[in-house]
Amino acid sequence: MLSIGIGEIQKKSSVFSNLTEAMQIVDKRKKRILAMVYPVQNESMVDSLAGKYKNRVKPTQEDIESIKEKAMQAAMEEKYGLSS
Q: Which of 29, 26, 31, 4 is nearest to 15 (CA)?
A: 4
pLDDT at position 9: 83
- H helix runs in 12-63, sequence order: 45-50
pLDDT at position 15: 82
pLDDT tens for each residue of 52-70: 777 776 777 888 899 999 9
| Percent with pLDDT over 90 in the chain | 19
Q: How far is CA 68 from CA 1, 12, 63, in A?
A: 44, 43, 9
Mean pLDDT of the chain: 82
Quick check: 6 and 29 in contact, CB under 8 A?
no
| Percent with pLDDT over 70 in the chain | 82
pTM confidence score: 0.45
- Where are the chain's structural domains? 2-37
Length of the chain: 84
